């Protein structure tokens, strides 16, 4: 049975940090973080400061933005219907492709290819 927590405690933090990030559940039970997010795009001045907050910042060729969520509610679920999934490896295609581009090329690429979501909404 699911439970609502007053905050992200040490046990939940460790559990969340150990999970590979997918847009589906990845563990026998699911942790849900509810809140409001804000973004800092790679093109904004504050981006470098936000990226530096990560213990192992990713290669910037593969990053569009840093998203921060102010968590207002923490809950979990039983996970009985969550499929079993295995994380095999990171894909390197994006880094390989983008590492061939200059900083100026990436600006043009992002402005033309990443300016809107697939449903036409402006990005960031």
Predicted pLDDT at 23:
55
pLDDT in tens, 108-122: 988 888 888 878 888
With cut-offs at 50, 70 and 90, classify the pLDDT of residue 26.
low
- Report d(CA 109, CA 97) in Å as an integer: 12
pTM: 0.65
- What phi, psi does 102 have (nearest 5°)? -80, 170
Q: What are the CA-CA distances from residue 1 to residues 32, 39, 78 (Å)?
A: 14, 33, 5
Contact 36, 70 (CB under 8 A): yes
pLDDT in tens, 70-107: 999 999 887 777 777 777 888 888 888 888 999 899 88
Q: Of 21-25, 44-48, 61-65, which range is least confident?
A: 21-25
Q: What is the mean pLDDT of residues 44-49?
A: 92
The token duo for 101 is 């581009």
- The distance between the two most distant Cα atoms of the chain, rounded to a whole number of Å, is 51
């Amino acid at each position: 049975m699911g439970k609502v927590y007053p905050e992200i405690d040490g046990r939940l933090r460790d559990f969340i940090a150990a999970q590979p990030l997918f847009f589906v559940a990845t563990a026998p039970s699911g942790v849900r973080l509810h809140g409001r997010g804000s973004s800092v795009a790679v093109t904004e001045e504050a981006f470098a400061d936000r990226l530096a907050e990560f213990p192992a910042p990713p290669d910037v060729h593969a990053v569009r933005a840093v998203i921060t969520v102010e968590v207002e509610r923490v809950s979990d679920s039983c996970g009985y219907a969550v499929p079993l999934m295995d994380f095999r490896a990171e894909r390197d295609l994006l880094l390989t492709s983008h590492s061939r581009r200059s900083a100026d090329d990436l600006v043009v690429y992002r402005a033309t290819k990443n300016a809107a979501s697939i449903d036409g909404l402006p990005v960031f």
